[in-house]
A and B are shown apart, each in its own frame.
Chain A
Amino acid sequence: MKKKVVGCILTAMMITGMFTGCRNSGSQSGDGTNSGSGDQVVVDIFQNKNEISDALQAAIEQYESENPGVTIHLETVGGSDYASSLKAKMLGNDPVEIFTLGGPDDIASYQEYLEPLTGEEWVSHVTAGGCDNVTVDGQVYGMPIAVEGYGLIYNKKIFEAAGIDASTLTSYDAMDKAFADLQSQIDAGTLADQFPVLEAVEEYAAKESWIVGLHTNNVALSQEFGSAAKAFESQTVNYTYGDALKDLIDLETRYTSSRDNLSLLNSVDYATQVGGGLAIERVAVIQQGNWISPEISNVSEDLLQDLGILPIPLKGVVEDSIAVGVSNYWCVNSKSSEAEKTAAKAFLNWLYQSDEGKNIVINELSLIPAFDNYDGIEISDPLSAEVMRYMDAGKTIPWVFSGQPSGWDSNVAANVQAYLAGSMTWEQVIAQNKSDWEAMRQQ
């Protein structure tokens, strides 16, 4: 008898569980399926920049209070999970209205979901070349989210303490010499009083395929292709500047704490490089971009003010520039209803072109806009200001990695990891990268 009672209770619990589950998921998708019906227009945004999601949510709430007829839902999935989540989103019953894509390869894959934005007012204000990656047959399909730049971010205080004038570091050899000098001072212990945890000049996150296979590799490919669109059209990759790329990787690994056994770098990830490296003054230089500002200021607001960006040198080719480009674009889903599409476009226009929105973009989202009509708004973030300095001086190289075959960066990173571990020679790395590119283009 007792057993029966227990059995009944368990069964009841399980059934309740089943229905609870249904109800939860029902209400979630319910919000979306209502969109378009009635007076309320619902716009779903799906994006991949973790660092702006809070500020963007605040901006959305402000927009909603001014436009009572529009409800906007924001969902953020960061990192490499974004691409697979987006696929699921678009194939599901309730596709999103606004989403972000990376460049020519994405644009080609998602062609049937893309609403042309050519007629929008903001298009004429995009800075030169800002929309090249998302323009197909004269139609613009994406709105640049921000301009970003990466180079070798360094700690000004450490360089000053070591007596190195960073403004002279505009060539490969000068940087090599300065890093060697700094490393010898660290080893001699003369900086230990001021920077107790400082153990090496650099840290290189070889575990992250995007750092190796997209960013570092791009320095050489940008000179070979010139633009992402050219890279996208190319059936082959020549590695015209392959030797200079080797020099760059050597420069970035030669002064790390793993210099005696470079294979150790293969377990260094982004968190170790930024949060556990530059932010705690364990190292003085890392290859990163202005997007690390929020992460650094979480650890130390003061330190952020002392950071600057050194060029990322391609020996004998371009030695005094940083890599600047647009990493992601806002796209509008062409399969949404007219009302939803209009609302989505209106929101993007408000965010990037109204006076209110411009202020939010610069000060709250901490982005460098890719538009020419932002006069009079000062950029407060020190790293973004550094990127602006290089842009104003014309010392930039383009981003071409969004034209690479998708997934190729993982192969490049794997090959470079094998090079660092000593199981592949540099010639083998280059040969393998080339044949992987060709194989991926053929499929």
Chain B
Amino acid sequence: MRRKQTGFWLFILPALFAFVLVVLVPAVKGFYYSFTDWNGIGKNAVFVGISNYGKLLSDSRFWNSFLFTFVFAICSVICINAVGFGLAVLVTNKIKGANLARTVFFMPNLIGGILLGFTWQFIFVSIFEAIGKNTGMIWLQGWLSDQKTGFIGMLIVLTWQLAGYMMIIYIAQLESIPESYLEAAKIDGATAFQTFLKIKLPLVAPAFTIGLFLSISDSFKMFDQNLSLTAGGPANSTEMIALNIYNTAFKESKLGQAQAKAVVFLIVVVVISVTQLILSKRKEVEM
């Protein structure tokens, strides 16, 4: 028994060490800085109580980006999981080239967000523009120059990047459904659509718990794609919270204020994620 205990701690130590060093300590320190007026440069941070949190209430730019992030997260969670699940169903059918398709769909996930952002920026701003001009399709012109196209642009990029990853999760779950269930359904005379709705979907529910959890947190935290695609513009209308916090901290040199925003943001994301976990756990079906 004691040997088992030692082994447990021995194995968990490296991960625990890294977690404490790069997550826990900075988080606690950040929490402390949210009560100071630290500018991020000097060594002296004066304790100012909760005034940073007070200022948040009247910061309309922060609440605008909060709302924008919220709406964006809802849309992107739906898109990412719908597309990811769709792809998973597609490549688990026994069609030709399914393995190649899996690789191709997963590939965008291997590219970093900054690079993706700049690549798509070129597509939206230059290629769309050129096609629009030559074919007279006005809706292809002026992408990323207003909030609507900025929003759709970021949605496309994030979906394109994350759908492949969700696909892998759904594939794993779809393939673990025992053949006998599907056969039984067939013998009972269920159509393909009924099989999908009544058997596959409930049995994939545990994967949805994970998929939703990952995509919710990824959508809320989105930073690099936002920075490289629109940089929050025009007129800060596509600035998501993470970028807003970064700008406050490093462009305006108000690290204390930025930390207060980060703490509020953290609490909101935790509440949403945990609620989602509890809700979708209830929907899961045991196999």
- Which positions in A face B, CB cutoff 8 Å? 18, 80, 83-84, 87, 90-91, 109-112, 206-207, 258, 261, 263-267, 272, 276, 405-407, 410, 413-415, 417-418, 420-421, 423-424, 440, 443
Complex Cα distance A90/B231, Å?
26
Chain A nearest CB, measured from B22 CB (Å): 13
Q: Does B176 contact A (CB under 8 A)?
A: no
Per-residue interface assignment for chain B, residues 142 to 172, with 1 indicating a CB less than 8 Å from any chain A CB and 0 otherwise: 1111100000000000000000000000000
Complex Cα distance A91/B29, Å?
15
Total inter-chain residue pairs, C-beta < 8 Å:
78
Q: Does B247 contact A (CB under 8 A)?
A: yes
- Which positions in B face A, CB cutoff 8 Å? 14, 39-43, 125-126, 141-146, 231, 233-236, 247, 249-254, 257
Chain A nearest CB, measured from B135 CB (Å): 17
- Say yes or no: A414-B253 contact (C-beta < 8 A), given A87-B41, A266-B146, A267-B145: no
20 contacts between A and B (CB under 8 A): A84-B249, A91-B41, A112-B42, A263-B142, A263-B145, A264-B142, A264-B145, A265-B145, A266-B235, A267-B144, A276-B126, A406-B252, A407-B247, A407-B251, A407-B252, A410-B247, A417-B233, A417-B234, A421-B145, A440-B252
Complex Cα distance A275/B256, Å?
39
Complex Cα distance A110/B251, Å?
15
Residues of chain A lying within 8 A (CB to CB) of residue B141: 264
Q: Is the CB of A267 within 8 A of B40?
A: no
Please name the 10 residue pairs, one residue from A and one from B, whose CB atoms are nearest each other, closest first: A407-B252, A266-B234, A84-B250, A267-B145, A417-B234, A417-B235, A418-B235, A264-B142, A414-B235, A407-B251
- In-complex Cβ contact of A266 among B40, B41, B145, B254 (8 A): B145
Residues of chain B lying within 8 A (CB to CB) of residue A87: 40-41, 250
Q: Is the CB of B234 within 8 A of A414?
A: yes
Q: Is the CB of A109 within 8 A of B250?
A: no
Residues of chain A lying within 8 A (CB to CB) of residue B253: 109, 406-407
- Say yes or no: A83-B235 contact (C-beta < 8 A), given A112-B42, A261-B142, A263-B145: no
* Complex: chain B residue closest to A113, CB-CB: B41
* Complex: chain A residue closest to B59, CB-CB: A439
Complex Cα distance A410/B232, Å?
10
Complex Cα distance A423/B247, Å?
23
Chain B nearest CB, measured from A375 CB (Å): 40
For the complex with contacts A91-B41, A109-B39, 16 further pairs of A-B residues with Cβ separation under 8 Å are: A80-B251, A87-B41, A109-B41, A261-B142, A266-B145, A266-B146, A266-B234, A267-B125, A267-B143, A272-B125, A405-B252, A406-B253, A407-B251, A410-B251, A418-B234, A424-B235
